[in-house]
Amino acid sequence: MGPLALGNLEPGEFRFLSDYEANALRELVEQRVASVERGEEAMPGPKRLVRREGWARPVKAKKYVGKKARRV
């Protein structure tokens, strides 16, 4: 979505954005707002970030570990 590559995030999982990703997202929003104010048509889609191996790897969300139900 936008300039972000979310990777293999499962529903409900999240990861924090790197500074680079956050800045790219802000720049995209500024460009879109400026084009709307000028009355231009929609811009072409943003360039996709290249995901480097081991960089900004999503953190696995911890699953709820509660008491197991007792079987009777």
- Interval 32-57: pLDDT, tens: 888 888 887 665 665 666 666 666 65
pLDDT category, 4, cuts 50, 70, 90? confident
Range of the domain at 38: 1-43
In a domain, 50, yes or no: no
H or E stretch covering 23: helix 19-37
Q: Is residue 27 a part of any domain in this protein?
A: yes
Number of domains in the chain: 1
- Region label for 56, one of left (φ > 0), alpha (ψ between -120 and 50) or beta (otherwise): left
Cβ pair 21, 4 in contact under 8 A:
yes
Give the C-alpha separation, 22 to 38, whole Å: 25
Predicted pLDDT at 39: 84
pLDDT band per the 50, 70, 90 thresholds, residue 26:
very high
